């Protein structure tokens, strides 16, 4: 029986290459064992495109299309880039395998277009620090500022809409706002000095 990660690997490879032979070759190279059959690979791919899931259990409600599944996962990570796959799966009522598969799918169709904490085969535009000290303006101001003004319902329809919202948000940053950000930065640095670099909870 194939593991969830193996199924996801086959689905993503088939989506990219549209060749079962290429999928089987890549599978053999990665896992050093005999690959699934042509019929099995196509069945997994069909299941994911139709239901957005590779799990065996039946869902209790209306089947979720792959497009809807991808959109929900994408919106979830855009809203909270640092969340884990486990957290996203719980919030979206999806299996961890499904969320992981969609993340890999997004890396395939949108490589290098996300700035976030990365793991495994993620391909972010910029790596997020593993332990953010929250003393830089991008951490304590800019990320939250964009999050509150860009990722609001209705969510961006496409990359052009997302880019337009970001540009509009940047244009709304004014001098008084930047002055307050600088004052907040000075305060946070002073707190770090006083505590000698110890952990600070919500400075």
Tell me the per-residue pLDDT of 113-161, one tens digit each, with 9 for 90 and over.
444 545 555 555 445 554 445 677 877 788 888 888 888 888 888 888 8
- Per the domain annotation, does 200 fall within a domain? no
Based on the domain organization, do 104 and 142 belong to the same domain? no
65 vs 181 pLDDT, higher one? 181
Model confidence at 74: pLDDT above 50: yes
Based on the domain organization, do 122 and 145 belong to the same domain? no
Residue 114 structure tokens: 């996300």
Residue 178 and residue 82: Cα distance in Å, rounded?
A: 25
- Which helix H or strand E contains 170, and what residues bound it? helix 159-171
Based on the domain organization, do 153 and 58 belong to the same domain? no
Q: Which residue has the tokens 């089947």?
A: 63
| CA distances (Å), origin 146, targets 78, 131, 172 | 11, 21, 11
| CA distances (Å), origin 124, targets 67, 78, 85, 103, 115 | 21, 12, 15, 11, 5
Predicted local confidence at residue 197, as pLDDT: 63
Structural domain total, the chain: 2
């Amino acid at each position: 029986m194939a593991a969830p990660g193996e199924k996801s690997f086959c689905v993503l490879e088939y989506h990219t290459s549209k060749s079962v032979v290429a999928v089987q070759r890549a599978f053999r190279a990665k896992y050093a064992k005999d690959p699934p059959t042509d019929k099995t690979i196509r069945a997994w791919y069909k299941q994911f495109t139709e239901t957005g899931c590779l799990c065996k259990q039946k869902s209790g409600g209306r089947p979720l299309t792959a497009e809807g599944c991808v959109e929900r996962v994408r919106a979830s990570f855009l809203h909270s880039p640092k969340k884990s796959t486990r957290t996203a799966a719980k919030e979206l009522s999806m299996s961890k395998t499904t969320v992981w598969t969609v993340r890999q799918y997004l890396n395939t169709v949108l490589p290098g277009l996300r700035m976030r904490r990365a793991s495994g085969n993620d391909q972010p535009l910029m790596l997020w620090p593993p332990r953010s000290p929250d003393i830089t303006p991008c951490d304590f101001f800019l990320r939250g500022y964009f999050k509150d003004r860009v990722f609001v319902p209705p969510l961006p329809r496409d990359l052009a809409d997302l880019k337009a919202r970001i540009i509009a948000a940047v244009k709304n940053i004014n001098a008084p706002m930047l002055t307050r950000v600088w004052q907040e930065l000075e305060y946070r640095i002073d707190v770090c000095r006083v505590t000698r670099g110890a952990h600070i909870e919500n400075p």
